[in-house]
Amino acid sequence: SLLRAMEHHNILKMHAVYETKNAIYLITDLLEGGNLLERINTCKGLTPWEIKQVMLGVAEGLAHMHGMG
pLDDT tens digits, one per residue of 3-52:
777 888 888 888 999 999 999 999 998 988 888 888 888 888 889 999 99
pLDDT of residue 53: 92
Cα separations in angstroms, 36 against 1, 4, 42, 69: 27, 24, 10, 27
Go through 15-30 and write b for each residue having 16 or more CB atoms within 10 A of its CB, e for each that does not.
eeeeeeeeeeeeeeee
**Whether pLDDT at 1 is above 70:** no
The residues facing 53 across adjacent strands are: none
